[in-house]
Amino acid sequence: MMKATAEQRHEVLVLGAGYAGLATAIQLAARTRRRGNLRVTLVNPYDTFTERLRLHMTATGRRTPVLNIPDLLDGTGAAFVRGWVTAVDTAARTVRIDDDQVLRYDTLVYGLGSIADTDAVPGADDHAYTLNGPEDAALLADRLARLDGGTVVVGGNGLTGIEAAAEIAERHPGLRVVLVGRQEPGASMHPKAKAYLDAALARLGVQVRSGVEVAEVLPDGVELADGSGIRADAVLWTSGTRVPPLAAAAGLTVDERGRVVTDGALRSVSHPEVYAVGDAAAIRQGYGVMHGTCQGGMPSGVHAALSILRVLAGKEPKPFRFGYYHTPVSLGRKDAVVQFTHPDDSPRRIVLTGGRAAKYKETVSAAPWPTFARMKRMPASGALWPHGGRYTRIRSAK
């Protein structure tokens, strides 16, 4: 067979090397590396992978593994471009990188993820720390290391806030840690899991202020909506997420949070040559729109790769189906609670706690890397991703 020329080659551009973007690039490139008629290029601002599941550890100065993206792509045939995406032109099918490089695509995979919504509350963007990436987490770690006593306020008592508050309290027992949010921590969990979570936070000395809303973040603390305030030496903002405005600026149909609205095969409803994966996508299932997690991000990336291959083969892509399995929450290094869930993310009665839960959480956090290695070696008949500490095989629909 004659090798495809550059003009004949189908260009797939993957934006964002998070869990979903990496899964797409590795799965797609590994399946097509011998064909020569398709080229996959992955774009990311850094050449090291950001383990979002471990950023609360980075924020307390703990070392985490350094994972090199080009090494993860090695052997797949995928190319890597380091740079910031500054514009997407859907009419010309081009993407601008760092304002000085333009890449062309035939198919685009949009996986630029999400960050903490510091625009939602005045002062948060100016005065609060975030866990948006390793550099932001390192800034907080430096601040905490220089504090001799004092108070740290964690704004937002969702899972990220809970894990961060517990980690800070354990790592820096001399600090007063206050966890602030509208709901109680673990409100959606089974009562057994929530009771364990409450007891663990109390044991660590984390003060919980629930049923309150932060009205403004100040240089020296937070002002609450009821008029009271909490003085703080550092504020960590974890409440809510937002996505970059690039998709909306490009004319893609987005939801109220700026996420790309997709059809059942993860294609943009307005631009079918664009697929959206992970936190950047508004993916609707029977139970509602998925919320962003590694648990759902990697499967969406794999499915996008399979959908692209089906379309290029002249076939209709299969609808994406995903059900949640668990909610693992670390409570320091040797404690955790794992809430097992129904597919719609509602809690089951099954709960794992203590040291066994901590080991389970660590296994889940580490699971993507052996999974990516397996993807690189997968035959054309299937793909793997971690699911509840196990590996689930996804059959490609031929």
Residue type, 75: G
pLDDT for 391 equals 35
* Cα dihedral 116, 267, 34, 394 sign: positive
User: What is the C-alpha separation between 224 and 123, in angstroms, rounded?
Assistant: 13
pLDDT for 13 equals 98
Residue that the structure tokens 């600090």 belong to = 175
When mean pLDDT is compared across 8-22, 48-62, 376-390, the lowest value belongs to 376-390
* 296-310: burial string, b at 16+ Cβ within 10 Å, e else: bbbbbbbbbbbbbbb
Question: Using CB atoms within 10 A of its CB, is residue 91 exposed (0-12), middle (13-18) or buried (19+)?
Answer: exposed
CB-CB contact of 255 with 241 (8 Å): no
pLDDT for 50 equals 87
Of all residues in the chain, what percent carry a pLDDT higher than 70? 91
CB-CB contact of 16 with 110 (8 Å): yes
Q: How confident is the model at residue 292 (pLDDT cuts 50, 70, 90)?
A: confident
* Beta-carbon count within 10 A of 2 CB: 7
Q: Could you say which DSSP state residue 18 is in?
A: S
Domains, the chain, ordered by start: 10-114+243-322+367-395 (3.50.50.60), 124-240 (3.50.50.60)
User: What is the C-alpha separation between 197 and 195, in angstroms, rounded?
Assistant: 5
User: Residue 232 corresponds to which tokens in the numbers above?
Assistant: 């703080």
Residue type, 36: G
pLDDT for 21 equals 96
Write out pLDDT tens, residues 141-168: 999 999 989 999 999 999 999 999 999 9
pLDDT for 19 equals 92
CB-CB contact of 41 with 80 (8 Å): yes
Mapped to the 3 state alphabet, what secondary structure does 31-74 carry?
HHCCCCCEEEEEEECCCECCCHHHHHHHCCCCCCCCCEHHHHHC
Question: In the beta sheet, which residues pair with residue 41?
Answer: 13, 79
User: Residue 114 corresponds to which tokens in the numbers above?
Assistant: 């999400």
Helix axes of 294-312 and 368-377: crossing angle, nearest 10 degrees = 20
Write out pLDDT tens, residues 323-376: 999 999 999 999 999 999 999 999 999 999 999 999 999 888 876 666 777 776
User: What is the C-alpha separation between 352 and 324, in angstroms, rounded?
Assistant: 16
Q: How confident is the model at residue 7 (pLDDT cuts 50, 70, 90)?
A: low
Closest listed residue to residue 240, CA positions, set 128, 351, 150: 128
For the chain, the first-to-last Cα distance in angstroms comes to 22
Question: In the beta sheet, which residues pair with residue 394?
Answer: 383
Closest listed residue to residue 157, CA positions, set 231, 90, 211: 211
Q: pLDDT at residue 378 above 80?
A: no
Q: How confident is the model at residue 386 (pLDDT cuts 50, 70, 90)?
A: very low
Write out pLDDT tens, residues 77-97: 899 999 999 999 999 999 999
* Cα dihedral 264, 265, 266, 267 sign: negative
Question: Within 13 A of 371's CA, how many CA atoms are on the CB side?
Answer: 31
- Residue 238's alpha-carbon distances to 50, 55, 167, 199, 373, in angstroms, are 17, 12, 14, 22, 31
User: What is the C-alpha separation between 156 and 362, in angstroms, rounded?
Assistant: 23
Average confidence score pLDDT of the chain: 90
Q: pLDDT at residue 200 above 80?
A: yes
* 31-43: burial string, b at 16+ Cβ within 10 Å, e else: bbbeeeebbbbbb
Closest listed residue to residue 154, CA positions, set 176, 123, 187, 186: 176
Residue that the structure tokens 């909490």 belong to = 230
Q: pLDDT at residue 196 above 50?
A: yes
Residue that the structure tokens 């993957």 belong to = 14
